[in-house]
Chains A and B, each alone.
Chain A
């Protein structure tokens, strides 16, 4: 069974930093790209960042480029999202998802809530 478990969310002040983790199991992590998607409360889905299976291809949404960094640790089957210079509009549930065929995302974690507020 595929499992994705996010952690690291919480309350942070504007301009602050936070690191999210997504622990995975149930699939061959080293052969799989991973993605972070966020959803502000009551709003739609927004792709945040993705990393390829070998870490060589990385993408960021324009709204987070230069502030967020995605990385992976294949020895621990974990994908990370480091977030800096956080803004109020970064407030959202952050989901990690496993990459599937045709750029689909067949498996999602339950999400972790990041609240940016003073």
Chain B
């Protein structure tokens, strides 16, 4: 079975540019999560969706970040404009049911903003 699929694996961009990260959750999973991981702060939840509806976006750093889930098999995380402090690994994860069940992670996107 395919796991959570993220693209791109690596993204290098310049400050001020728009960045779009993509995620395809495991088929049949109802919840989708976007996390950011840095050495300093560890894994931080940015936003999560249940049945394609955003439930908790309190972790989204600021208005530069936005996330969408137009259907059950696709989600995007967009940063516009990007800044060097956004450099991190961004993980997408999905779970079968509600938000406190075990998560399955994608391989992540390593983002570097120069």
Is this pair of chains taken from one and the same complex? no
B residues near A (Cβ < 8 Å) are: none
